[in-house]
C-alpha cells in the first residue's frame, strides 16, 4: 500500500469517491509545490497530510482565479468560486473534487471554517493589485491578503490556543516568503503585469520597471536583488522561532519550510540579475538535507 493510501486510511477517508477527490488535490499540489508537498509527506503525521493537501489546493486554486486573465474575468471567476465555498460552509456539501475535499476537511478541522471566511474576505486586495508605491503598501498587502491565504494551511499547524504569538510569527514568515517570491519570480510576474517590488525601492536603486521588462541588467539591479533577498532572509531567520509556537504535530514541517525558503533565498542571491531570465530553486541535495534535519529534530526533540 502506498504512503498516500496509508495517509488516507489514517485520516479516516475511506469512501472511494472521496479518496479520489483528495487524490486529485495531491496530484495538483505535488505538481505546483513539489518541495512543499515532499516536506509535508515526510514530516506531517499521516492523519493530517490529506487535510494539509486540501487546504493548500484551495489556496492555489484561489490564487489562480485571482491572478489569471483580465480583471473582469477574474472578478467573475472569484465571485463564482466564493459562492461555491460559502455553499460548502453552509451545507457541508461540495460539487466537485476540490470542494468535496474541502467540505470533509472542514468537518475534520471545524476551526478552519473561520480561517476560510477570513480568506474569502481578502480577495479584493488581490483583485485590485497593481503593484506597490511604497514599502507601507507592501506591508498592508501582507495583512490584507498574504497572511489570510497562508493561514489556510497555518491554522492546521496552530496550537489549540494561540495567545497571538503564533499568528504574529506566521506573519513574520509570510513577510519573508512573499518578499522572496516577488523578487525570485520577476521573470514570471513581469510579463503578466505584476511587480511586487515597491516603486520607491526601485527608485532607490535607480532601476525602472521599463528596464526590468526589457530584461536590462545593471549594477543597480544586482544591488536591488541583494537588498530584497537580504530583507527576506531577515524575516525568515526571525521566523525560526515559529516551530516552537506551532502544535507539536506541525513543528517539523514548519521548521523545514523555513529552511527551504532560506535555501531558496541563497539560490536567488546567487542568480542575482539573472532572475530576469528565470527563478532560482534550492539544489536537490540542499532540499533533502533540510528534510533530513527536520525529521531528525522531530524524532529527537518534538
Q: Which domains does the chain have, with CATH numbers?
A: 1-114 (1.10.600.10), 129-302 (1.10.600.10)
Question: Does the pLDDT of residue 32 top 90, yes or no?
Answer: no
Q: Could you tell me the pLDDT band of residue 124, with boundaries at 50, 70 and 90? A: confident
pLDDT tens-digit profile of 125-175? 898 898 999 999 999 999 999 999 999 999 999 999 889 999 999 999 999
Whether the model clears a pTM of 0.85, i.e. scores above it, the answer is: yes
Predicted pLDDT of residue 301: 52
Predicted pLDDT of residue 60: 94
Closest CA to 185 of 38, 32, 16: 32
Question: Does the pLDDT of residue 48 top 90, yes or no?
Answer: yes
Question: Which of these ranges, 19-23, 33-37, 127-131, 251-255, has the smallest mean pLDDT?
Answer: 33-37
Give the containing element (helix H, strand E) for 136.
Answer: helix 135-141
Give the containing element (helix H, strand E) for 224.
Answer: helix 219-238
Predicted pLDDT of residue 294: 86
- Round to whole Å and give the CA distance between 123 and 102: 18
User: What would the 3-class secondary structure string for 66-115 be?
Assistant: HHCCCHHHHHHHHHHHHHHHHHHHHHCCCCCHHHHHHHHHHHHCCCHHHH
Q: Could you tell me the pLDDT band of residue 43, with boundaries at 50, 70 and 90? A: very high
Q: What percent of the chain has pLDDT over 70?
A: 98
- Round to whole Å and give the CA distance between 267 and 281: 6
Question: Does the pLDDT of residue 302 top 60, yes or no?
Answer: no
Mean pLDDT score of the chain: 94
pLDDT tens-digit profile of 189-229? 999 888 999 999 999 999 999 999 988 889 999 999 999 99
Predicted pLDDT of residue 217: 87
For residue 187, give every residue at least 6 positions away whose Cβ sits within 8 Å of its Cβ, in sequence order, or none: 275, 276, 277, 278, 279
For residue 94, give every residue at least 6 positions away whose Cβ sits within 8 Å of its Cβ, in sequence order, or none: 84, 88, 100, 101, 102, 103
Comparison of pLDDT for 105 and 162, the residue scoring more: 105
Predicted pLDDT of residue 300: 59
Question: Does the pLDDT of residue 36 top 90, yes or no?
Answer: no
- Round to whole Å and give the CA distance between 101 and 215: 42
Q: Could you tell me the pLDDT band of residue 299, with boundaries at 50, 70 and 90? A: low
Amino acid at each position: 500500500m502506498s504512503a498516500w493510501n496509508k495517509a488516507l486510511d489514517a485520516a479516516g477517508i475511506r469512501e472511494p469517491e472521496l479518496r479520489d477527490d483528495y487524490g486529485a488535490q495531491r496530484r495538483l499540489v505535488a505538481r505546483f509545490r513539489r518541495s512543499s508537498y515532499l516536506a509535508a509527506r515526510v514530516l506531517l503525521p499521516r492523519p493530517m497530510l490529506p487535510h494539509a493537501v486540501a487546504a493548500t489546493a484551495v489556496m492555489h486554486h484561489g490564487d489562480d482565479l485571482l491572478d489569471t486573465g483580465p480583471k473582469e474575468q477574474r472578478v467573475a471567476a472569484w465571485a463564482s468560486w466564493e459562492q461555491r465555498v460559502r455553499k460548502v460552509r453552509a451545507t457541508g456539501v461540495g460539487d466537485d473534487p476540490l470542494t468535496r475535499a474541502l467540505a470533509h476537511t472542514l468537518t475534520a478541522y471545524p476551526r478552519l471554517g473561520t480561517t476560510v471566511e477570513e480568506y474569502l474576505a481578502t480577495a479584493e486586495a488581490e483583485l485590485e493589485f497593481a503593484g506597490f508605491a511604497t514599502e507601507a503598501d507592501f506591508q498592508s498587502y501582507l495583512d490584507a491578503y498574504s497572511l489570510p491565504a497562508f493561514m489556510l494551511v497555518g491554522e492546521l499547524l496552530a496550537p489549540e490556543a494561540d495567545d497571538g504569538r503564533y499568528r504574529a510569527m506566521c506573519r513574520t514568515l509570510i513577510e519573508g516568503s512573499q518578499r522572496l517570491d516577488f523578487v525570485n519570480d520577476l521573470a514570471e510576474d513581469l510579463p503578466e503585469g505584476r511587480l511586487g517590488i515597491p516603486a520607491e525601492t526601485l527608485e532607490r536603486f535607480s532601476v525602472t520597471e521599463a528596464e526590468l521588462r526589457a530584461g536590462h541588467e545593471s549594477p543597480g539591479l544586482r544591488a536591488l536583488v541583494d537588498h530584497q533577498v537580504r530583507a527576506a532572509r531577515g524575516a525568515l531567520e526571525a521566523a525560526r522561532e515559529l516551530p516552537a509556537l506551532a502544535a507539536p504535530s506541525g513543528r517539523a514541517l514548519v521548521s523545514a519550510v523555513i529552511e527551504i525558503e532560506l535555501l531558496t533565498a541563497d539560490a536567488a542571491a546567487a542568480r542575482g540579475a539573472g532572475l530576469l531570465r528565470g527563478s532560482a530553486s534550492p539544489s536537490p541535495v540542499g532540499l533533502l538535507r533540510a528534510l533530513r534535519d527536520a525529521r531528525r529534530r522531530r524524532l529527537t526533540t518534538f
